[in-house]
């Protein structure tokens, strides 16, 4: 049986998980693939660090260059994270003719185009199944399973940490900071966790999915990103009373151009949204991710699984290891290309032009005439209200006023809310959360 020698660089949550998973299921994989997977070296930063996965000391080194340069190593796993050392590792490996497996969505978002071009130039490959949605094989779904479809919609809960936080805030009334600390302890969060809670990690993943689905590399600078730090218990509660659950969603929506000569526009955004409680994504809790993909032929499809953490991510890496091992065995390093540009006719739709429904919470002085002033501003902006609720039982200088708003562009809504925020009866900046209807 052939043997593939693997050099692992980075052995924290993900790298450690890969080591453990190969110990557990390497023989099973060998029997399925006809290729033996052998870990030849493991590079870490600190040899003295206590590790939850025990690695044979003979394999450990702090010199990642020596792993790449070792002629007996065929394949590199980059599990360091970040966009600087990781980029150098990947490029150096390619120069040595070695393909790389990575889970690093930040790296792909920042340097994907460069790395894919380099892989092609050096006749190597870059495998990244673990970069999006942990254990869910969503890259394979888009690249292989749904290859015959035009993808019209992707709605994804793609950040485990944020979903874990929002779920526990809703189901247990838990405090944001405490739950974030738990997510860090459990190995779900990025370093620093701002990447999760500010929405950037979800944006990296959503950009990867958008690029695969639409064939042009979606520029991360054009992805609209809002995180979950402004979501309060109060909004979770009011949303619940109205029949909704707040989730951080990655959204990719294609809008065909009415004119033939114009490019199709694709919305690529990440923001917290109110989902109807009856929708399946509203019921995805904890560290679980789920992605709804709509194809023009297949219709709606749904993928669900653990989105972060050691074992789920290791499972995705094992699938890349299998592909890489078969590519090496069959001598076809480009059997699966990392990213194939196609159609190339898309452009990201600016957030101002995105049309949505909205939940708006205002803190207002409870006196006659306040509502009239607010509705006058919305009316003059041609924005329709679908319901108004002033929940009872609130006392004090200001009380909450909840408005549910019909379809309006983000630009129109933002302008109207700025005017509303300047009314003397409005005592705090308006809170606006989009409502997703999955059309």
Which is nearest to 426 in space by CA: 368, 366, 358? 366
Interaction of residue 199 with ligand NDP, rule CB under 6 A: no
Alpha helices in 5-143 (DSSP H): 13-33, 64-69, 85-95, 105-121, 138-140
Interaction of residue 282 with ligand NDP, rule CB under 6 A: no
* Distances from the Cα of 422 to the Cα of 157, 194, 333, angstroms: 34, 30, 60
Interaction of residue 307 with ligand HSE, rule CB under 6 A: yes
Interaction of residue 151 with ligand NDP, rule CB under 6 A: no
196-215 binders of ligand HSE (CB under 6 A):
196, 201
Interaction of residue 188 with ligand NDP, rule CB under 6 A: yes
Interaction of residue 207 with ligand NDP, rule CB under 6 A: no
Stretch of residues binding ligand NDP (CB under 6 A), selected from 228-236, 251-259, 306-314, 377-385: 306-314
Interaction of residue 103 with ligand NDP, rule CB under 6 A: yes
Q: How far is residue 250's CA from residue 303's CA, in Å, rounded to a whole number?
A: 14
Burial of 174 (0-12, 13-18, 19+ CB in 10 A): middle
Half-sphere exposure of 79 (CA within 13 A, CB side): 26
Stretch of residues binding ligand HSE (CB under 6 A), selected from 24-32, 155-163, 234-242, 417-425: 155-163
Q: How far is residue 174's CA from residue 165's CA, in Å, rounded to a whole number?
A: 8
Interaction of residue 7 with ligand NDP, rule CB under 6 A: no
Asked if residue 399 lies in contact with residue 368, where contact means CB atoms within 8 angstroms, the answer is no
**Catalytic pick from 98, 205, 247, 254?**
205
Interaction of residue 190 with ligand NDP, rule CB under 6 A: yes
Which option in ligand HSE, ligand NDP, none does residue 161 bind, with CB closer than 5 to 8 A by kind?
Answer: ligand HSE
User: Given the complex with ligand NDP, which of 35 and 133 has the nearer CB atom?
Assistant: 133
205 noted as active-site residue: yes
Which option in ligand HSE, ligand NDP, none does residue 370 bind, with CB closer than 5 to 8 A by kind?
Answer: none
Interaction of residue 349 with ligand HSE, rule CB under 6 A: no
* Distances from the Cα of 329 to the Cα of 3, 4, 28, 75, 338, angstroms: 9, 9, 17, 12, 18
Residues annotated as catalytic are: 205
The residue ranges that bind ligand HSE (CB under 6 A) are: 134, 159-161, 188-190, 196, 201, 307-308
């Amino acid at each position: 049986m052939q043997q593939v020698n693997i050099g692992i660089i980075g052995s924290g949550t993900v790298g450690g998980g890969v080591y453990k998973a190969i110990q557990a299921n390497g023989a099973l994989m060998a029997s399925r693939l006809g290729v033996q997977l052998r870990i030849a070296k493991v590079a870490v930063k600190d040899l003295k660090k206590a590790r939850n996965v025990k690695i044979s000391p003979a394999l450990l080194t702090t010199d990642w260059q020596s792993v790449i340069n070792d002629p007996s190593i065929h394949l590199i796993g980059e599990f360091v994270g970040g966009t600087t050392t990781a980029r150098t590792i990947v490029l150096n490996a390619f120069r040595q003719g070695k393909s790389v497996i990575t889970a690093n969505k930040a790296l792909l978002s920042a340097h994907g185009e460069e790395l894919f071009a380099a892989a092609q130039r050096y006749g190597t490959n870059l495998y990244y199944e673990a970069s999006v949605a942990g254990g869910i094989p969503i890259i394979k779904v888009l690249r292989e399973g749904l290859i015959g479809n035009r993808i019209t919609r992707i709605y994804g809960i793609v950040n485990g940490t944020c979903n874990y936080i929002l779920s526990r805030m809703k189901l247990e009334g838990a405090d944001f900071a405490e739950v974030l600390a738990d997510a860090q302890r459990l190995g779900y969060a990025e370093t620093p966790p701002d990447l999760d809670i500010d929405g950037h990690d979800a944006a990296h993943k959503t950009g990867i999915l958008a690029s695969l689905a639409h064939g042009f590399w979606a520029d991360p600078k054009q992805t609209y990103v809002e995180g979950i730090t402004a979501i309060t218990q109060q909004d979770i509660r009011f949303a619940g009373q109205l029949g909704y659950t707040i989730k951080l969603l990655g959204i990719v929506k294609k809008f065909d151009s009415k004119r033939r000569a114009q490019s199709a526009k694709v919305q690529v955004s990440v923001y917290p949204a109110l989902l109807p409680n009856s929708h399946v994504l509203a019921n995805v809790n904890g560290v679980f991710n789920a992605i709804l993909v709509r194809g023009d032929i297949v219709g709606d499809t749904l993928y669900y699984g653990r989105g972060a953490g050691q074992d789920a991510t290791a499972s995705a890496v094992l699938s890349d290891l299998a592909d890489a091992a078969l590519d090496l065995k069959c001598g076809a390093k480009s059997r699966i290309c990392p990213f194939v540009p196609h159609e190339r006719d898309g452009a990201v739709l600016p957030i101002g032009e995105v049309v949505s429904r909205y939940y708006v919470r205002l803190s207002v002085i409870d006196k006659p005439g306040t509502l009239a002033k607010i509705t006058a501003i919305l009316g003059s902006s041609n924005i329709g209200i679908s319901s108004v609720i002033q929940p009872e039982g609130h006392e004090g200088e200001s009380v909450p006023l909840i408005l549910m708003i019909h379809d309006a562009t983000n630009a129109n809504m933002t302008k109207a809310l700025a005017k509303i925020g300047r009314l003397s009866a409005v005592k705090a900046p308006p809170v606006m959360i989009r409502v997703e209807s999955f059309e």
